[in-house]
Structure 1
């Protein structure tokens, strides 16, 4: 598929570019429909069981969250200002989304008047005097439902709580609500010192606004980084134009898709354009690097583009799949915000991948530079990477130990990692929104809330003092903890009412259940509807707080549960609910989703790489260098108190998916260089030289690109950028440190190699060398060597030449022939598919003993003993079987050879036979000529006459054997003794002149004369010596020796040496 698309781009470059540009222009008009919005539900887990509890609490008690309007002034309670506030409140209540309000203008000031309960609002009538103002504020601060909720202790701040209907949320809803309230409040800002609104919709609207502002800085910064890094590192302008163009097309199409599908941009999806620029450039860089590599070795522009599908399709496909799956794995998260982000980035990367493989070849064929000179000079990246490699490959064990210690140190730090899902944490501590939240916390009570629901499912439960006492105890426990700002409940209202009616000094619960019922007869139920349901079977304690840490909040929730279930031993059903609880549960879901995504991503990488290279060790090698940065990442986050939030939760799995891209390119290139290369270190060095520039360039571009996200005003996004940049640098480091060390222990074969290797059935089933191996093992063994093709009549190996290779015939046929000393040629064997040949020369340390010629177009497996040893390191079972089969084959051949008449050794003396001496002499003559060395021959004729006739007839054989032993003791290890006739020998004397040969003959004479055998027989020895001339053939020298020896015999002297 990828190869077809790359070839399509090459074949129709102008059409492809035109269609891509046209499609981009066609969809671009949809972009203005793109909306910016943050949904509250997107930050929660709707499948969470607590979500149903939350929905039920909304039906029973109404919303716990409200828009808080904060009003502050030294003369806040003057009549003029109260009138302005009242008129503004009237306008606020008229807004369609406001369903109710809580303020001093409508909250009842419970009083006893002539034995009746009076529940007039605090500001039903404005105070006329300062005394009345103070009394009003005193009454308000004495009311637990009002103090810290609607009035501050400093008496200069009041709050209006607006309850809204936020169930029908749609994009732009937050902006509408915030804008409408702002329009009402703006006139008050001219009269009061402080006027502002604060709420979840306001926070979300501020996030949306900041997102749009951030895009003004982040996108241009990412583009500039891409242009500068790629332009400088690769030295050409089009190195920046290509990824910039493909990224622009991808961004327009992705955002247009979002606009068409009415998917609003949120705090996470806002970084998709930057991610497409940053991540999408990696494959562009690798394709351009491959193109430039082709140009450097002298290819034309067309040839350089044509090699892209051949050399890069596998790497870019696998790299895309792993990166794609990295983002897709985020979709297993239960948090809607993260799921949506994962789907959209995965979609964008798919678009970018298709654009890249279509646009880059087309652009390079039309506009690719050809002015790159042929040079072997190394750039800085290559020099640095080679220097690192030289150190680590020399110190493998030390390197692995150091990396293990570093990983252990940061793994220990990961235990301090905490989770957080607080939207206020998106903003910096000195931001206006955080300052507002802190001010509300200090003057009133925290704007964040959760509910403690107590339920009995029995009508009238909370009209009984016993159960109201349980509510009171829970509130007292929370107050004693000093963590939360304020609690409010139905018990507070009853206590306040009882204080007014009974005139007690402090609020207390009545003693009798009937009193509670009586009190409620004088009060409208709407006054307490937020804290108890209509049949009094369920009650709510509303808790306000300013805790920003999900981890801290989770601990406090557990403390409350423990108190109620163990200390209080309540029979009531306890439910903690509210947005704080759901956000906290979402934090746990984020952490679990992180684990699930990581496991899924690790599994995908392990499976894909192991499948590709048909070896699980390859998958592990791809994982280790990329898991190492993730371990360091978690350690850094733990040691530096960086929380795992909606932004940073993605870093590990995304970084793993991106950084494995470099590892895959490294593995693919290493596999390419190991084919036919048995030197692992040499293959690794070539791989590093070739991949140093693209890997370093993409890593730096990614790191600096992610760094641009630090310009974001949102802390999670800034952390995401900084941590991702850190991981990219660490991944580059581990690619050049860990990956080469690990690869030095393995050999790679791809599934494409296996599938493309078509073998005949007889090769797989009938070949002796592959006996006992399964088909995939045979293919792996074959791929550890080199497959060669020879044409009909071509000589594969030649007699008399040295060779370290042995061969297996995979397809076709060949003939093995031997050339005898007399020049005649005889056929030794007809070789067919599956046959082994050429193995004896290396094992015996001798030259080739036969010529093998292809009879037809033939396919061969060439293997060196080094490749067999390497196979033993990486696949010992396959290697063991090959060695066993090889031993069996050699044993059979030795047995057959021993039975033949022309055995290499004489049966009686152990000296070489006449034919083998001739063959060896022919080879030695060639060698001596090549090295300009002397070589001599000596022919010894032994005439044996026993002194006693009664000696056995086999006496001559015994004398010949003893004489042979004596000669072997005298000659050098490099000299060769052969039995020529029944009682004659020829000695082959390498690196020996004729004068030295004469001295040797005299030494042999003296040795034989002094030997024991001369006492039982008369022995006459004649010798002929000749030095092989440069123009001689082996037969010429032997003929001279025989002629000279014949002349010596005719002279009948007891010992005569002639020089031929």
Structure 2
């Protein structure tokens, strides 16, 4: 292996033009590919395709369309039924309906009312008002008719009557397309114009709006984070090395890494998501430590003998093999996400893992080659390694390691004990808009709608009757749906349901002359009287159940809306309601058992929908990401075992990286930071990066102890004072580099930035204090044996 690194160093320095040309060609190609980068407009696909819950939801969408296709505009006003205001509201509806991607717009004026037409034995639907109002009398008629339709209370108008919703349905083809983004922008412009003219505040929400706005923020933040990462790391490098050339050389490396990250995303056919958008700034933060170790080693070697070429050769040989191991552990920290089965995380894991190693290769080539063309370092640059506050700190650390190891162990035990207690307080919960700050307009508008209408997140029950046409030929199905809706009504989180029963209630109210007290599901005898009117419920232009029965009349749905009440509560609701649904739709009273799936005596009724899938996804992610963290730990331990061939050394090298994770978990418990996909990411990423410091320290210690025949004390002293400088610089870069994510408008990204920063800072402390303390506790003979 030593010959390999020796020959590689000679090859790079001898054929530097060829290597440089390859890097330039790669950069040009990746820049071209990066120009084709696209932001994903779709919801993250987290559940694997093989998951039955995912398959159920996909089947549901194929039959009934996307359930999260409605955007709402809410307004609180007492002027809605004043002629002038009502006319302006109607005009806004008309303008929005004219937007290309919009399928329909429903408001208080055009909601359907059912009218019985005895001459043709049909029930017909007509809007409350068919044209733009021209008199106050017409508006008063709309209000009077609305008051006789109890269903719409709490649905299109709140119970108090002062908050109204406009419901905008997007075309199914546009919901996952760029045209949705364009449409939302046009709606926002019209809303702003209306607000300015009427001096009112409108509240925009609904899944199409939330998705579009969050995607736009991702795109904006990608540019902000990139700029901050480059600016911050450049300033840190300039402060550390006090040399513009070193900063520029390092900057070139990370710029190549950035375009490569974006290029790889395009090469794999991926689009940028809320998580993969973090990769380019992560490349900056993770790529700079490579430059720091290479530059510091070069300066250190040049200070010894003053031979630039020899210094560069030794740098490639020594640091090259150290960095490949450290970058490999970092790559594993990201790469384990590729085994989660989740498309969302697989893409992130693949791109990040590949890019970490690609950045390493670019660093190993570019930095020595570029320094080979630059003038040798000055004595001022090389003397910087042996002076300053950092050196004083490292000398203090060396004293603690040599003479106060008992105190180190006692402090660590105390910290770990407190962290374990804090870890026991961690909660697991996630929200659909969990990533947004409480003062974010998207969050505030959602809470406004939830306050007045309970919620807008889709919660569906998909019903399979097992036989084509059975939906309309089975009166008992209506009774079962009614029973189920009563069960749901016991839970305050749900809005009124919309289903076949709703349509039947409208028809019966119309049949009985429009009296609101008859907005009920009639008995079987009464239903039979309506047999001649059945076409109104299931076919023709006046189909009242459109969107709730599939074309074969085998499947139907019951639609609820739910508040964004968190994944814990949503899963509780699912676990409580699904058994009740099974009992209602699939219970055999004679055998006191449930019918087997497919038995035509029963029905298959299952909970699904956008909010349900989100809860399931969060649950799935937690299990898989915890598993991924353990996979990362095991894989990195295997690398340590191959490097040192001793289980004791694996234990010694793993603890300094595990303890910071415990501290982070403890902080999450104490500061009430929930466990969710964005925060679970922290552990495997941080462990992979933390292990870098362990490898830096141990490989240098091994070289000092075995190759230079020093005592354990001398080897540790030399390692702390020499490698410690680079580790200190690296820790500062990583800490500040990850801390820039706190500038995000997403809470999850903020938490990731804070917690990873703290974890990596603690990892540096453990690697510089605890690790050498462990090594000093061993005698030299045992240490040599382990190494």
TM-score by length of 1: 0.65
Q: In the alignment, what sits opposite 2:521?
A: 509
Q: In the alignment, what sits opposite 1:299?
A: 306
Is the alpha carbon distance of 1:8 and 1:348 closer, same or farther for their aligned partners in structure 2, counting shifts above 3 Å? Answer: same
Aligned pairs for 1:692-731 (under 5 A) are 692-731=724-763
Q: Is the Cα contact below 8 Å between 2:739 and 2:753 reproduced in 1? A: yes
Aligned pairs for 1:745-784 (under 5 A) are none
Q: Is the Cα contact below 8 Å between 1:490 and 1:528 reproduced in 2? A: yes
Q: Which secondary structure does the structure 2 equivalent of 1:65 belong to?
A: coil
Residue from 57, 60, 82 that aligns with 2:60: 57
Q: Is the Cα contact below 8 Å between 2:9 and 2:317 reproduced in 1? A: no
1:633 aligns with 2:653: no
1:662 aligns with 2:687: no
- Alpha-carbon shift at residue 508 of structure 1 (Å): 3.2
Q: In the alignment, what sits opposite 1:452?
A: 461
Q: Which secondary structure does the structure 1 equivalent of 2:278 belong to?
A: helix
Quick one: distance in 2 between partners of 1:427 and 1:354?
37
- Alpha-carbon shift at residue 398 of structure 1 (Å): 5.0
Quick one: distance in 2 between partners of 1:140 and 1:6?
82
Quick one: distance in 1 between partners of 2:177 and 2:117?
51
- Alpha-carbon shift at residue 586 of structure 1 (Å): 1.4
Q: In the alignment, what sits opposite 2:14?
A: 11
- Alpha-carbon shift at residue 143 of structure 1 (Å): 3.8
Is the alpha carbon distance of 1:569 and 1:49 closer, same or farther for their aligned partners in structure 2, counting shifts above 3 Å? Answer: closer
Quick one: distance in 2 between partners of 1:126 and 1:374?
83
| Higher fraction of helix | 2
Q: In the alignment, what sits opposite 2:536?
A: 523
Is the alpha carbon distance of 1:484 and 1:69 closer, same or farther for their aligned partners in structure 2, counting shifts above 3 Å? Answer: closer
Quick one: distance in 1 between partners of 2:25 and 2:166?
55
Quick one: distance in 2 between partners of 1:517 and 1:720?
63
Q: In the alignment, what sits opposite 2:502?
A: 492
- Alpha-carbon shift at residue 88 of structure 1 (Å): 5.0
- Alpha-carbon shift at residue 733 of structure 1 (Å): 1.4
Quick one: distance in 1 between partners of 2:766 and 2:678?
25
Is the alpha carbon distance of 1:132 and 1:87 closer, same or farther for their aligned partners in structure 2, counting shifts above 3 Å? Answer: closer
Q: Is the Cα contact below 8 Å between 2:625 and 2:677 reproduced in 1? A: no
Quick one: distance in 2 between partners of 1:564 and 1:495?
21
Quick one: distance in 2 between partners of 1:489 and 1:202?
25
Q: In the alignment, what sits opposite 2:598?
A: none
| Higher fraction of strand | 1
Aligned pairs for 1:667-678 (under 5 A) are 667-675=698-706, 677=709
Q: CA RMSD in A?
A: 3.4
**CA deviation string 1:498-523 (max 9, x = no partner):** 34545573643322256167265262
Is the alpha carbon distance of 1:504 and 1:439 closer, same or farther for their aligned partners in structure 2, counting shifts above 3 Å? Answer: closer
Gapped runs of 5+ residues in structure 1? Answer: 748-865, 876-1060
Is the alpha carbon distance of 1:182 and 1:377 closer, same or farther for their aligned partners in structure 2, counting shifts above 3 Å? Answer: closer
Quick one: distance in 1 between partners of 2:640 and 2:777?
17
Q: Which secondary structure does the structure 1 equivalent of 2:558 belong to?
A: strand
Quick one: distance in 2 between partners of 1:41 and 1:227?
34
Quick one: distance in 1 between partners of 2:350 and 2:176?
20
Q: Which secondary structure does the structure 2 equivalent of 1:574 belong to?
A: strand
- Alpha-carbon shift at residue 392 of structure 1 (Å): 4.5
Q: In the alignment, what sits opposite 1:683?
A: 715
Q: Which secondary structure does the structure 2 equivalent of 1:647 belong to?
A: helix
Q: Is the Cα contact below 8 Å between 1:101 and 1:160 reproduced in 2? A: yes
Residue from 366, 369, 372 that aligns with 1:365: 372
1:617 aligns with 2:648: yes
Q: Is the Cα contact below 8 Å between 2:300 and 2:385 reproduced in 1? A: no
Q: Is the Cα contact below 8 Å between 1:122 and 1:140 reproduced in 2? A: yes
Is the alpha carbon distance of 1:92 and 1:132 closer, same or farther for their aligned partners in structure 2, counting shifts above 3 Å? Answer: closer
Q: Is the Cα contact below 8 Å between 1:2 and 1:357 reproduced in 2? A: no
Q: Which secondary structure does the structure 1 equivalent of 2:459 belong to?
A: strand
Q: In the alignment, what sits opposite 1:547?
A: 564
Is the alpha carbon distance of 1:387 and 1:26 closer, same or farther for their aligned partners in structure 2, counting shifts above 3 Å? Answer: same
Q: Is the Cα contact below 8 Å between 1:335 and 1:589 reproduced in 2? A: no
**CA deviation string 1:165-214 (max 9, x = no partner):** 44577663432332354466566455553456533332232223223332
Aligned pairs for 1:178-217 (under 5 A) are 178-182=184-188, 188-189=194-195, 191-192=197-198, 193-195=200-202, 197-217=204-224
1:413 aligns with 2:422: yes
**CA deviation string 1:322-369 (max 9, x = no partner):** 111211111122332222122222232232111100011112222241
Q: In the alignment, what sits opposite 2:183?
A: 177
Q: In the alignment, what sits opposite 1:122?
A: 128
Q: In the alignment, what sits opposite 2:634?
A: 603
Residue from 341, 348, 351 that aligns with 1:341: 348
Aligned pairs for 1:72-87 (under 5 A) are 72=75, 73-79=77-83, 82=86, 85-86=89-90
Quick one: distance in 2 between partners of 1:167 and 1:322?
43
Q: Is the Cα contact below 8 Å between 1:427 and 1:714 reproduced in 2? A: yes
Aligned pairs for 1:182-331 (under 5 A) are 182=188, 188-189=194-195, 191-192=197-198, 193-195=200-202, 197-259=204-266, 263-331=270-338
1:380 aligns with 2:389: yes
- Alpha-carbon shift at residue 3 of structure 1 (Å): 5.0
Quick one: distance in 2 between partners of 1:480 and 1:134?
35
1:404 aligns with 2:416: no
- Alpha-carbon shift at residue 726 of structure 1 (Å): 0.9
Quick one: distance in 1 between partners of 2:343 and 2:172?
18
Q: Which secondary structure does the structure 1 equivalent of 2:449 belong to?
A: helix
Q: Which secondary structure does the structure 2 equivalent of 1:744 belong to?
A: helix
Q: Which secondary structure does the structure 1 equivalent of 2:419 belong to?
A: helix
Quick one: distance in 2 between partners of 1:474 and 1:724?
46
1:151 aligns with 2:151: no
Q: In the alignment, what sits opposite 2:45?
A: 42
Residue from 723, 737, 744 that aligns with 2:776: 744
Gapped runs of 5+ residues in structure 2? Answer: 588-601
- Alpha-carbon shift at residue 704 of structure 1 (Å): 0.5
Aligned pairs for 1:560-959 (under 5 A) are 560-565=577-582, 570=587, 572-675=603-706, 677=709, 679-744=711-776, 867=781
Report which stretch shifted further, 118-127 or 129-138. Answer: 129-138
- Alpha-carbon shift at residue 275 of structure 1 (Å): 0.9
Q: Which secondary structure does the structure 1 equivalent of 2:113 belong to?
A: coil
Structure whose alpha-carbon radius of gyration is higher: 1
Quick one: distance in 1 between partners of 2:8 and 2:675?
40
Aligned pairs, number: 755
- Alpha-carbon shift at residue 301 of structure 1 (Å): 1.8
Q: In the alignment, what sits opposite 2:433?
A: 424
**CA deviation string 1:34-87 (max 9, x = no partner):** 333342143554433122212322344343223324253543334555555555
Report which stretch shifted further, 109-118 or 350-359. Answer: 109-118
Q: Which secondary structure does the structure 2 equivalent of 1:267 belong to?
A: coil
Q: Is the Cα contact below 8 Å between 1:6 and 1:361 reproduced in 2? A: no
Looking at both structures, which has the greater relative contact order when contacts are Cα pairs under 8 Å and sequence separation is at least 6?
2
Is the alpha carbon distance of 1:27 and 1:68 closer, same or farther for their aligned partners in structure 2, counting shifts above 3 Å? Answer: closer
Residue from 107, 113, 123 that aligns with 1:109: 113
Q: In the alignment, what sits opposite 2:595?
A: none
Q: Is the Cα contact below 8 Å between 1:35 and 1:262 reproduced in 2? A: no
- Alpha-carbon shift at residue 467 of structure 1 (Å): 3.9
Report which stretch shifted further, 732-741 or 160-169. Answer: 160-169
Q: Is the Cα contact below 8 Å between 1:34 and 1:262 reproduced in 2? A: no
Q: Is the Cα contact below 8 Å between 1:9 and 1:357 reproduced in 2? A: no
Quick one: distance in 2 between partners of 1:241 and 1:347?
24
Quick one: distance in 2 between partners of 1:156 and 1:207?
29
- Alpha-carbon shift at residue 569 of structure 1 (Å): 7.6
Q: Is the Cα contact below 8 Å between 1:35 and 1:264 reproduced in 2? A: yes
Quick one: distance in 2 between partners of 1:196 and 1:633?
38
